[in-house]
Amino acid sequence: MHGYEAVIGLEVHAQLATATKIFCSCATEFGAEPNDQTCPVCLGLPGSLPVLNREVITFAAKFGHAVGAQINDHSVFARKNYFYPDLPKGYQISQYDQPIVSNGHLEISLQNGGKKNVRIARAHLEEDAGQSVHDGMPQSQNKTYINLNRAGIPLLEIVTEPDLSSPDEVYEYLTELKSILQYLEICDGNMEEGSLRCDANVSIRPIGQKKLGTRTEMKNLNSFNHVRRAVQHEIDRQIAVVLQGGVVDQVTLLWDAESQRSRVMRGKEESHDYRYFPDPDLLPIVLDQAANSELANRLPELPQVKRKRFIEDFELPQIDAHILTNDKHLAAYFEAALRHNCSPKLVANWMLTELLRELKGLDHGIDRCPIAATDLGRMVALIEGGEISGKMGKQLFRLMFDTGKAPDKLLVEHGMVQIKDETILIGIVEKTLGQYEDQVEQYRSGKTKVLGFLVGQIMRETKGKANPNLVNQLLIERLNAEMSSHA
Ligand code: ADP
Ligand code: MG
Ligand code: ZN
């Protein structure tokens, strides 16, 4: 044992899902031609003036309420000055010592079944910078291109206190944060498109020590798994440095997902390096109290509450409730399926196994699921009611997924009608009993468990079409009749 523990704090940049940018009316939609979504304001041309998009205040306040934070009635935009080619103004408009949101918290579930409260120090509004494009353009070998479509897209930077202590906790925090943002409909949470970006601050200290160690900050983490891996790598690296008698330098690191390594990007900048000052072009944000409490009252049901309700009302296991509620659309699909009278547990099973697997195969989210929620509910009801066997259920599911058609329609189209005719079934039952005399013998000597085997044989014989309830009943009748005739 090395005797050190990790201390981690996260800074997450969430792209706010507004239709237009934070200080101009350019569109924010992803995937436009480079530099098509720009204007004098976001290009930073001299003489242009920023005008605040009201919606970002609403979005930030919603987030603040969702994490039990304080929404400050007075907050201020500041200029953060630095030079970079993708920042034409030479400064980024951000918030500094007077952010819009402070002192929130978010609860995460731990692997040991416990909970942990992660404090959110602040959440502030800022504009995004543009992008430097190094690859995939003519003469990319010796040229770098600038795309300013992203410049001026609103960001909410959400900063935790250094409360996280393992890569798994980091992963859990990010997952929960993403759900909350998605439930609030303020950020789509798409890491590949850069809607959610995370910097991780990592330090170590001897177990039991209160004082924090020197931290490094890791950037370029573009999936939750990368964050988890990069944080683990950095903890291990720091421990190795210290065990070899060295000291950890306060630096900014860049994670390289391909080689699974980090490299030093620059020495850590201090906030005074940025020469922050209040932006004279923008007035302070003064909160409208009435509108703000209205927002607080109209928050949607949040993941944690929904999770609790799923566990209590539907008797779902914790883990199922967790997966279903992490994604708002998945939760909505589940509840829509339950409009048919069917067991929530069974619907959850189908969703968490077959459905998610098939969707993953197509690389689709639940929002592009070919099976309508109510159709899945109906299918489960058919199986539960014994109208089709589990095996037919699987075939039916396959057809539903491939065609998007309703279950009842498919049953007719594919002649998947159940054999419910007793005279037909009795014939099959008798034939089977003749074939498996040993099992019949076993049953007679009290090993009634072989009944399941016999039912299975008949279901196989009928390609799953026999009505399982009726088969069961007929088998028992026959077996008991045989017993009495033998007696
Ligand atoms: P900066 O803006 O310079 O990066 P902040 O003080 O705002 O600095 O902290 C940024 C993040 O770093 C926060 O999430 C905070 O919790 C975390 N942090 C600060 N000190 C440490 C430390 N010693 N170890 C780990 N994380 C830390
Ligand atoms: Mg930082
Ligand atoms: Zn613009």
What pLDDT sits at residue 485?
Answer: 60
- Residue 461, CA atoms < 13 Å, CB-side half-sphere: 21
216-221 and 251-256 strand pairing: parallel
pLDDT of residue 480: 84
In angstroms, what is the span from residue 204 Cα to ligand 1's centroid?
A: 13
| Ligand having the closest approach to the CA of 162 | 1
The DSSP output letter for 449 is T
The tokens for 55 are: 């919606």
User: How many helical (H) and strand (E) elements, i.e. helices and strands, does the chain have?
Assistant: 17, 16
Residue 161 has pLDDT above 70, yes or no: yes
pLDDT of residue 206: 96
- Surrounding ion ligand 3 within 5 Å at CB are 24, 26, 39, 41-42
> Does the pLDDT at position 482 exceed 70?
no
- Which residue lies with its CA nearest to atom 24 of ligand 1? 203
**Domain containing residue 352:** 301-413
Nearest atom (ligand 1) to Cα of 269: 3
Please answer whether residues 30 and 127 qualify as being in contact, where contact means their C-beta atoms are separated by less than 8 angstroms.
Answer: no
249 CA to middle of ligand 1, Å?
14
One domain, residues 325 and 429:
no
pLDDT of 280 reads 97
Q: What is the mean pLDDT of residues 395-416?
A: 92
Q: Tens digits of per-residue pLDDT, 419-461?
A: 888 888 898 999 999 999 899 999 988 888 899 999 999 988 8
pLDDT of residue 113: 83
Residues 466 and 325 in one domain: no
Which residue lies with its CA nearest to atom 7 of ligand 1?
159
Determine the pLDDT at residue 244: 95
Q: What CATH number is associated with residue 441? A: 1.10.10.410
Report which bound ligand comes closest to the CA of 24: 3
Residue 106 is predicted with a pLDDT of 98
pLDDT band, residue 265 (cuts 50/70/90): confident
Give the pocket of ligand 1 (CB within 6 Å).
7-11, 159-162, 201-203, 212-213, 215, 271
Residue 271 CA: nearest ligand 1 atom is: 3
* Digit-coded pLDDT (tens) for 188-214: 888 878 899 999 999 999 999 999 999
Closest ligand to Cα 102: 1
Q: 109 with 217, same domain? A: yes
Q: How far is the CA of 94 from the centre of ligand 3 (A)?
A: 17
Whether residues 281 and 367 share a domain: the answer is: no
What pLDDT was estimated at residue 189?
87
Q: Are 78 and 147 members of one domain?
A: yes
- Examine the domain organization and report whether 305 and 290 are in the same domain: no
Question: Which distant-in-sequence residues (6+ apart) come within 8 Å of 138 by Cβ?
Answer: none
Whether 317 and 283 map to the same domain: the answer is no
Whose C-alpha lies nearest to ligand 1, atom 22?
A: 215
Token duo for residue 414: 């594919």
Res 484: pLDDT = 63
Task: Give, rounded to a whole angstrom, the gap between the first and last alpha carbons of the chain.
Answer: 71
Q: For all residues of the chain together, what is the average pLDDT?
A: 93
88 and 204, same domain (yes or no): yes
Q: Measure 270 CA to ligand 2 centroid, in angstroms.
A: 9
Same domain, yes or no, for 464 and 392?
no
Q: What is the pLDDT of residue 486?
A: 55
Evaluate if residue 61 carries a pLDDT over 90.
yes
Structural domain tally of the chain? 3
Q: Which atom of ligand 1 is nearest to the CA of 270?
A: 3
Q: What's the CA-to-centroid distance between 481 and ligand 2, angstroms?
A: 79
pLDDT for 16 equals 98
Between 171-175, 266-270, 306-310, 387-391, the lowest mean confidence (pLDDT) is in 266-270
Residues 137 and 241 in one domain: yes
- Residue type present at position 181: L
DSSP single-letter state for residue 303: H
**CA R_g for the chain:** 30
Q: Can you tell me which atom of ligand 1 is nearest the CA of 213?
A: 23
By the 10 Å C-beta count (0-12 exposed, 13-18 middle, 19+ buried), 195 is classed as buried
> 409 and 428: one domain?
no
> pLDDT grade, residue 2 (50/70/90)?
confident
CA of 374 to the centre of ligand 2 (A): 46
Final residue belonging to a domain, choices 386, 413, 440: 413
Closest approach atom of ligand 1 to CA 122: 7
pLDDT at 128 (0 to 100): 97
Residues 350 and 250 in one domain: no
| 137 — pLDDT class (breaks 50, 70, 90) | confident
Per-residue confidence at 231, pLDDT binned at 50, 70, 90? very high
- pLDDT digits 0-9 by tens, 29-53: 988 999 999 999 999 999 999 999 9
Q: Which of 118, 120, 194 is nearest to 155 (CA)?
A: 194
Q: Which ligand is nearest to the CA of 203?
A: 1
Local confidence band at 182 (pLDDT 50, 70, 90 cut-offs)? very high
The pLDDT of residue 142 is above 80:
yes
Q: Which ligand 1 atom is nearest residue 203's CA?
A: 24
**What tens digit of pLDDT does each residue of 318-333 get?**
999 999 999 999 999 9
